[in-house]
Amino acid sequence: MGSDPGRTRVGGGRLVLVATPIGNLEDLSPRAARTLAEADVVAAEDTRRTRILLDHAGVHVPMLSVHEHNEDRRAGPLLDRVAAGETVVVVTDAGTPGLADPGFVLVREARARGLVVEAVPGPAAALQALVLSGLPMDRFAFEGFLPRKAGARARRLEELAGDPRTLVFYLSPHRTAEDLDALVEAFGDRPAALAREMTKLHEEVWRGSLPELAHRAREGVRGEVTLVVGGSPPRAMDTGPAALAARVHDLVESGMAKREATAAVAAAAGVPKRVVYQAILDEGLG
């Protein structure tokens, strides 16, 4: 193998990202357990949760809390330890570090300093949900968590409305129903799968259309949720301004609210809602 300029060994130290179980402790690999045992310090998102994992593996090493609110501040001192020859292991509460979890800043800064960065592969909720979904897996995009604010969330979903790839989202347990309603408005009647409690005894995967899943979620969904959504279908309809405006007009005439009609046409055409709004204005139907 050729040399990697980002893997200059400085003092024998290394930064290692270790994927941890997303629910079933038996999914901790022998390599992951060995790497944890070799650590001089474990940088953990939540030291209380990681302590349970370490106790299960029979590992007793020092820990330091590193999460989204302090990763920037902790990165420098931790990487100084790597440069001095220590092994710093990074774990999150569950899954693979860096995927919608802490880890990215540490890797970026370690690469910039020419330090050794390694990763021990393992569970990832996004991939687990994808393979359970029954939706196309040949091309997909991981989107992580949607923005908290409604406006930013709507804009992001507009940008994704025409993406033909299968999309994977993490939904906050406090906003699951709200996020699903926003997805329905932006994407319309697409196939989807909602996975929760993955790898645990009560694992569930709901399959159906986005509106069906949104309706079911209003009854309550416990825990963190991973959602897989089918990509934008091929554009079978005319997406010219006149055609878009005419379709909105027909839906409004049938009794649908203009805002809902605009969202439905945008989702069906695979274009952002702003394109449909502009078409309405261009055709004098605003």
Q: What is the pLDDT of residues 170-200, one digit of tens each?
A: 998 889 999 999 999 999 899 999 999 999 9
Query: Is residue 215 scored above 60 in pLDDT?
Result: yes
Query: Is residue 5 scored above 80 in pLDDT?
Result: no
CATH ID of 126-229, from 3.30.950.10, 3.20.20.10, 3.40.50.720, 3.40.50.300: 3.30.950.10
At 84 the pLDDT is 97
CB 177 within 8 A of CB 221: yes
Query: Is residue 4 scored above 80 in pLDDT?
Result: no
Residue 235's pLDDT band (boundaries 50, 70, 90)? low
Residues of each domain in the chain carrying CATH 3.30.950.10: 126-229
Least confident of 3-7, 46-50, 106-110, 146-150: 3-7
At 255 the pLDDT is 79
Residues of each domain in the chain carrying CATH 3.40.1010.10: 5-123
Please compute the mean of the pLDDT values over residues 151-178 and round it to a whole number.
Answer: 93
Query: Is residue 286 scored above 90 in pLDDT?
Result: no
pLDDT in tens, 101-153: 999 999 999 999 999 999 999 999 999 999 999 999 999 999 999 999 999 99
CATH topology (fold) of 5-123: Cobalt-precorrin-4 Transmethylase; domain 1 (3.40.1010)
Least confident of 146-150, 173-177, 231-235, 276-280: 231-235
Residue 90's pLDDT band (boundaries 50, 70, 90)? very high
Q: How much of the chain, in percent, has pLDDT values that exceed 90?
A: 71
φ/ψ of residue 222, rounded to 5: -95, 140
> Among residues 248, 251, 250, which one has the least CA distance to residue 286?
248
At 236 the pLDDT is 58
End-to-end CA distance of the chain: 62
At 10 the pLDDT is 45
